[in-house]
Amino acid sequence: MRFFLSPLVFVLGVLLMKYSFQVTNATGKIDFAEKYLGTGLGSGTYTWWKLVGLAFCILSLLWLFNMLPSGNI
């Protein structure tokens, strides 16, 4: 199942990074992102969506190659 879903999550992450402006227009500004990541054009909420997309890409690759910690120590 992860061999099918992981590439889809990776593509979702890339699309979030590429279309962060359109996602922000659809969802609105995020207050804490504006406060901590800065205000103005190209920062704040736009940066938040790019970071979320990057996290999706990294986590999907870790999941694909079965490198996520399982919690069983």
The owner of tokens 């996602």 is 23
Check residue 42 and give its pLDDT.
73
The count of structural domains within the chain is 1
Confirm whether 13 is domain-assigned. Answer: no
Q: Are 62 and 68 in contact (CB under 8 A)?
A: yes
Q: Are 56 and 16 in contact (CB under 8 A)?
A: yes
Check residue 71 and give its pLDDT.
64
Please choose, from the candidates 22, 3, 66, the residue with its C-alpha nearest in 3D space to the C-alpha of residue 53: 22
- Report residue 26 as tokens: 């659809």
Domain with 47 in it: 18-64
pLDDT tens across the length of the chain (73 residues) = 889 999 999 999 999 999 999 999 999 999 999 999 887 777 899 999 999 999 999 999 999 999 998 766 5
How far apart (Å, rounded) are the C-alpha atoms in residues 59 and 8? 12
Confirm whether 36 is domain-assigned. Answer: yes
